[in-house]
């Protein structure tokens, strides 16, 4: 089981570009459709849990599936398989990059790449905000209320960017604030 999980995740880890989310459809095809290790419903539950829990989504999913299928051995195989390809590739790059960086051609290329990276980080925000707000209701007042939590996004961004606040505190504040608001709301309406 160790080698099977290792091989499956190694393959997925080697051939997915673009991080954890890009891995999910490939994991589904391998683990659900081809191997039939878990069914579709459990896979969807797994994604929900892997996203709700902290940490990298690809690693979280490897831990869950590894455990369900092969216990401790499965976890070790799946996690090693998921991590090893990027570990080896980045290590190789890190070893030569410090020298390559000095080359005028590489430096010129990166001058063009840097603003592109900022755009690539910022651009998905649009889609994320749309899906976080959810489907617009026919009632226009409801629509406004759904978008209200975007103020939280704004506050979080400003606190970290201008205030230099560590993101850890912003995350903890969100949890504490939401839970206490719900608790107060329950007390009042009761």
Q: Of 90-149, which residues contact another protein (CB under 8 A)?
A: 90-91, 93-95, 97-98, 101, 104-105, 107-130, 132, 149
At its nearest, how many Å lie between another protein and the CB of residue 6? 15
At closest approach, how far in Å is the CB of 10 from another protein?
Answer: 11
User: 19-58: which residues touch another protein (CB under 8 A)?
Assistant: 19-21, 23, 45, 49-58
Interacting stretch for another protein, rule CB under 8 A, among 30-38, 135-143, 179-187?
179-187
Interface region with another protein, contact rule CB under 8 A, candidates 31-39, 87-95, 135-143? 87-95
* 156 lies in the site for another protein, by CB under 8 A: yes
What are the CA-CA distances from residue 96 to residues 14, 92, 104, 106 (Å)?
Answer: 20, 7, 15, 12
Tell me which residue has tokens 């969807």.
44
Residue 54 gets the label, from left (phi > 0), alpha (psi -120 to 50) or beta, of beta
CA gap 170, 101 in Å, rounded:
35
Q: What are phi and psi of 39, to 5 degrees?
A: -90, 170
């Amino acid at each position: 089981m160790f080698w099977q999980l290792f091989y499956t995740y190694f393959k997925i880890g080697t051939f997915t570009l673009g991080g954890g989310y890009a891995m999910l459809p490939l994991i589904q095809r391998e683990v659900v459709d081809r191997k039939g290790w878990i069914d579709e419903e459990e896979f969807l539950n797994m994604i929900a849990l892997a996203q709700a829990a902290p940490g990298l989504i690809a690693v979280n999913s490897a831990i869950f599936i590894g455990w369900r299928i092969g216990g401790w051995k499965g976890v070790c195989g799946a996690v090693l398989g998921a991590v090893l390809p990027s570990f080896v590739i980045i290590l190789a790059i890190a070893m030569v990059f410090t020298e390559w960086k000095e080359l005028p051609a590489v430096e010129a290329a990166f001058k063009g790449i840097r603003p592109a990276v900022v755009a690539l980080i910022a651009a998905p925000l649009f889609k994320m905000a749309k899906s976080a707000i959810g489907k617009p209701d026919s009632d226009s007042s409801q629509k406004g209320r759904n978008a209200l939590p975007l103020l939280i996004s704004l506050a979080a961004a400003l606190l970290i960017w201008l205030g230099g606040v560590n993101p850890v505190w912003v995350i903890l504040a969100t949890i504490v604030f939401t839970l206490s608001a719900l608790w107060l709301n329950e007390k009042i309406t009761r």
